[in-house]
A and B are shown apart, each in its own frame.
Chain A
Amino acid sequence: MSFLFNNFVELTVTGLVLGAVYGLVALGYTLVYGVLQLINFAHSEVWMFGSFAAVWVTVALGVAPGSAMPVVIGVLLLALLAAMTVSGGVALLLERVAYRRLIRLDAPKLVALISAIGASFALAEIMGLRDRVAGWIGLRDTLDPYVRSARDNTRFQNPLETEGLFTVGGYTVSNVDVIIIVSAVLMMVALDQFIRRTRTGRGIRAVAQDSEAAALMGVNRNRIIRATFLVGGIMAGAAALLYLMRFGVTRWNAGFLLGVKAFTAAVLGGIGNVRGALLGGFVLGLAENYGSALIGSEWRDVVAFLLLVVILLFRPTGLLGESLGRARA
């Protein structure tokens, strides 16, 4: 117990950093759930592909740590752009391959879940077999820096060196900590505004409220669904870069656990609720850290899931309730 109090600031900041990543990935789950009432199981792979895109950009540019600040910023922005583009693209592909036909057929939700699970396996495996795929198309040697040790951890060479900024309660808050938390909040605010103010955003809300009525009012439902996947994918791409800045490695199957956690965060905050996703992420990140500190890291997931159960029992629609999604009678 005293350990928790003595290191409260450190546990809090690192918990928030982790929570920010959860929150950004959770946005993808929450948006798709809000619009389609479907659990987009493969969203974790959208994130995973984004993380590789960011890694590959840094590999291609080969920037060493400690470069001049404008170079560092440029590389990071390029990596961000690549991650968002790839994640957005994979999300759109997912919508096309795993969902569109089922949505048109109005198939049971469970079937869409299985479709997404299949897509998730396939996407993760493709990344895990990327060396084989490269060999197959005869580019194994050319692509070596991008495809080697395909089943292993791949390191992200962060061009930005971690530096302490200021010290609070015995913990030196680093530039990376600040960047991650601030960007996550900014992205969330931007998304919130997007959904409130833009035409597409209004469309997303309309479809989430009542898909049929929205269609009658001239909203192109299919376009809105695509936009939703795209936006969720872009957020996952941003999350991927932030994740790499903090944790430094990615892996073909890294998405699965993160996806489970992010989905938990989305439910915790109130699935379908954009602000809830980030709040859920923060709560989950903090709970994991505090829980680990109190009873040991081996119990962190147990703490996280128990917290989820308890919150759902007292607030059946999550902390902030469902807002994108319709209140079902």
Chain B
Amino acid sequence: MRFSVKTGAPLLALALALSACGTSGGDDEEASSGGGEAGTCEDVAIGYFGALTGAAANLGINIRNGVQLAVDQFNEENADCQVSLEEYDSAGDPNQATGLATQAIGDDSVIGIVGPAFSGESDTAGPIFAEGGLPTISASATNPDLSQNGWDTFHRVLGNDASQGPAAATYIADVIKSEKVFVVDDASAYGAGLAEIVEESAGDAVVGTDTIQTGQTDFSATVTAIRSSGADSVFFGGYYAEAGLLVQQMRAAGVEATFVVADGVKDPGFIEAAGDAAEGTIITCPCLPPEEEQEFYAAFEEAFGAAPATYSAEAFDAANVMLEGILEGNTDRESLLEWINDYSGEGITKTITFDEDGEPENISVWAYKVENGEIVADQEIETN
């Protein structure tokens, strides 16, 4: 943003500055440089839909940053096709999502949405996007039911709980060779759904279950239950904040069981919260450990001053699917939707193609391990 503005135009400058703050895109520059030549790319935006404020803000910001990075890289490479990013901050609240989704379908320049981030807001926003024909790709909503609502605009780039849950159970049984599994969940739609599937898949090996609440910090009763069950592995369905606290309290109480968690915990915040207690934790994730990751990692770190966190890479992939489509000239919703439905390409997390429900077709679930304070790839989990 330039501040060497001639006198006489301060008001205009202020207005520009304000709107630039609002959308954080290259929209204005393009407009002021008298676009027009860009032709097909004029006035095209993709949206990020999810929490940026409120209790779930950190997960949302991870995703937004992934999208932001993709858009910035795209705009840098394609000077004649500038795409702007619209943010729809739902605070993860299904109620706010309704108005924002309605707003999004009313804005003709927005032709694709990365999101909604969570399953709950997807439930209210999904039908609205379907009605407006606005294609969406979620980088994080894993509730299996979402793809079964008949919303033809719905897609996601990560495996749902139904694919990840059995993989986690397989790993626990075949690799850890655990005979006694204790299953804990955080009563969230994501965590409880996942835990239920793991519980079913693990069958008789389950020696106990408990449910905690998100936001809770004292898990002493749960830790006591784990210990007295004699479990040699603990599966936790939930997000990294509670996972960090739980594993730390387990270790402090002398519980040595292997801690197994899913993609909601694949975040530096987990290690930050758990410290040394995180060592040896197994994290399953329906995402490949790709070679490109290094490049993505570096670019992300440079742009946002922090390592990519949960779902950042998925968001980057989701945005790139749309951006490629825009570059190919699909600058309205209908053609972009078609583009996404037919898409096939290499993302940094997986090879991306969608089945007719909008689910990713190639789901490979990998196990990661925390070693020396880093989350590193362990092995691919065979699922059948």
Binding site for B on A (CB under 8 A): 3, 6-7, 10-11, 14-15, 17-18, 128, 148-149, 151-155, 157, 162, 164, 172, 174, 247-249, 251, 253-254, 257-258, 288-289, 292-293, 296-298, 300-301
| Residue pair A257, B269 in contact (C-beta under 8 Å) | no
CB closest chain-B residue, reference A285: B218
Report Cα–Cα, A151/B65, bound state, in Å: 15
| Residue pair A289, B213 in contact (C-beta under 8 Å) | no
Out of A18, A151, A172, A298, which one reaches B218, CB within 8 Å? Answer: A18
Q: What are the residues of chain B within 8 A of A288 when measuring CB–CB?
A: 218, 221
Known: A3-B225, A7-B228. A296 touches B220 (CB 8 A): no
Known: A151-B57, A248-B275. A296 touches B211 (CB 8 A): yes
* Residue B61 CB within 8 A of the other chain: yes
Out of A11, A155, A162, A174, which one reaches B221, CB within 8 Å? Answer: A11
| Residue pair A298, B228 in contact (C-beta under 8 Å) | no
Binding site for A on B (CB under 8 A): 55, 57-58, 61, 187, 210-213, 215-225, 227-228, 241, 244-245, 248-249, 252, 254, 269, 272-275, 305-306
Q: What are the residues of chain B within 8 A of A300 when measuring CB–CB?
A: 213, 216, 221
CB distance from A86 to the nearest CB of B (A): 20
Q: What are the residues of chain A within 8 A of B212 when measuring CB–CB?
A: 297-298
| Residue pair A3, B211 in contact (C-beta under 8 Å) | no
| Residue pair A172, B254 in contact (C-beta under 8 Å) | yes
Out of B210, B223, B249, B272, which one reaches A152, CB within 8 Å? Answer: B272
CB distance from B245 to the nearest CB of A (A): 6
| Residue pair B187, A14 in contact (C-beta under 8 Å) | no
Q: What are the residues of chain A within 8 A of B223 when measuring CB–CB?
A: 14
CB distance from A237 to the nearest CB of B (A): 18
CB closest chain-A residue, reference B241: A153
Mind listing 27 A-B residue pairs with CB under 8 Å?
A7-B224, A10-B227, A14-B223, A18-B220, A149-B272, A152-B273, A153-B269, A153-B273, A155-B273, A155-B274, A155-B275, A172-B254, A248-B248, A248-B273, A249-B244, A249-B248, A251-B241, A253-B55, A254-B217, A257-B215, A257-B217, A293-B224, A297-B212, A297-B219, A297-B222, A300-B216, A301-B213
Count A-B contacts at CB 8 Å.
103
Name 14 extra pairs, CB < 8 A, besides A14-B220, A247-B245, A298-B210. Answer: A7-B225, A7-B228, A10-B224, A15-B220, A17-B220, A128-B57, A149-B269, A152-B241, A152-B273, A153-B245, A157-B275, A162-B252, A289-B224, A296-B211
CB distance from A48 to the nearest CB of B (A): 12
| Residue pair A152, B228 in contact (C-beta under 8 Å) | no
Known: A11-B224, A151-B58. A298 touches B213 (CB 8 A): yes
| Residue pair B216, A257 in contact (C-beta under 8 Å) | yes
CB closest chain-B residue, reference A131: B305
Q: What are the residues of chain A within 8 A of B219 when measuring CB–CB?
A: 297
CB closest chain-A residue, reference B192: A298
| Residue pair B211, A297 in contact (C-beta under 8 Å) | yes
Known: A10-B224, A152-B241, A289-B220. A247 touches B269 (CB 8 A): no
CB closest chain-A residue, reference B242: A153
CB distance from B268 to the nearest CB of A (A): 8
Q: What are the residues of chain B within 8 A of A289 when measuring CB–CB?
A: 220-221, 224
Q: What are the residues of chain B within 8 A of A3 when measuring CB–CB?
A: 225, 228
